[in-house]
Amino acid sequence: MTSAFLAGIGTKLADRWLNALLLPGLLWTALLVTGLHLGQDHPFAVDRLGDWLDQLAARPAAHAPGTVALAASAVLLVSTGVGLLAGTLGGLVEQLWALPGDLPPASWIRAWRQRRWDTAGEQLRTAIRHAARATDAARTRAAQVRARQRRRSRLGPVRPGHTTRIGDRFALATLHAAQNNGLDDLPLAWPRLWTVLSAELRTDLAAARDTYAATARLAAWGLLYFPLAAAWWPAALIGAAVLTTAAVRAFAAADVLADLIETACDLHLNDLADRLGIPTTTPAPDTGHAISGRLRTTAPSTSDTG
């Protein structure tokens, strides 16, 4: 039974290594070799690439087992190394997506997003005023109001407070936990809350977290394609396409993850209170405040940990 369990773990790790590191790394390596051979002058000369591959295959060394093994090992090492770099860069992308935007240049992006949101809000209010005063063309005015509403909704449900919409969405989840559940320090409560979640909700949260991390890795791969443009300019187009795809997927993944975090707080607040010995007869915010107070009391202080 133990051997079957270990084999299952090994299979999952191999699948993750293959899908997350090796296959994207092999594609990046193939584009690197293609770009170095084709260059900037003939970026789409596929026939030249085919001739070069035929010449390599015709060499006697290409049929030597040692040469083949060495070349395959080198390709695997490069692909895996680039995959590890993409994973590290993906973690950095996650942090950048959630930046509060207090310092430049992040604060400049936040200010730009706030100006766009303010402008969209003013345009919506203007459209509503015109629609209220209009005596004719009511359908046209209503359509204009709906268009303005959709535009502001795309910019976010509230005035931006972070560099990206993803940061705003996670901030809303934290605000939801504080206002609806009294958990005014969600990072402190979350590890304890995780222990009382149902197995189904844990599985959903883990899957949503993996999906969100995968979109960040995809963005990292998009960034890694741009250096290849120094040798082969179409790589910049590929990088832009990959980054656009990651940006489209990222907010949807973050929204699902934030929704599940809010769901966990709503459904299992009393379960955590029961485990901590806190009465649950009070309203949810009061229960959450009691939980936060208990955790702050029992948490080690900075002086204790330093």
pLDDT beyond 60 at 1:
no
Does 53 score more than 80 pLDDT?
no
Indicate the range of 219-223, 260-264, 277-281 predicted with least confidence: 277-281
Is the pLDDT at 122 greater than 70? The verdict is yes
Residue 30 has pLDDT above 90, yes or no: no
pLDDT given for residue 57 in this prediction: 63
Instruction: Band the pLDDT of 211: cuts 50, 70, 90.
Output: very high
User: Using one digit for the tens of pLDDT, what is the confidence trace for 64-81?
Assistant: 676 667 777 777 888 888
pLDDT in tens, 234-249: 999 999 999 999 999 9
Residue 257 has a pLDDT of 96
Q: Given a cut of 80, is residue 189 above it in pLDDT?
A: yes
Q: What is the pLDDT of residues 91-109, one digit of tens each?
A: 999 999 988 877 788 888 8
In degrees, to the nearest 5, what angle opens at C-alpha 114 toward C-alphas 109 and 118?
150
- Across residues 196-218, what is the average pLDDT? 94
pTM summary value: 0.79
What is the enclosing helix (H) or strand (E) of 279? none
Percent of the chain with pLDDT over 70: 81
The rounded mean pLDDT for the chain is: 81
| Beta carbons of 240 and 247 less than 8 angstroms apart | no
What pLDDT sits at residue 127?
Answer: 78
Give the residue from 268, 280, 257, 255 showing the smallest Cα distance to 194.
Answer: 268
Q: Which of 163, 199, 159 is nearest to 175 (CA)?
A: 159
Which residue did the predictor score with more confidence, 303 or 106?
106
Distance, C-alpha 28 to centroid of its chain? 21
Alpha helices in 39-137 (DSSP H): 46-58, 65-97, 106-133
Q: Which residue has the higher pLDDT, 188 or 62?
A: 188
Q: Give yes or no for residue 17 having a pLDDT over 60.
A: no
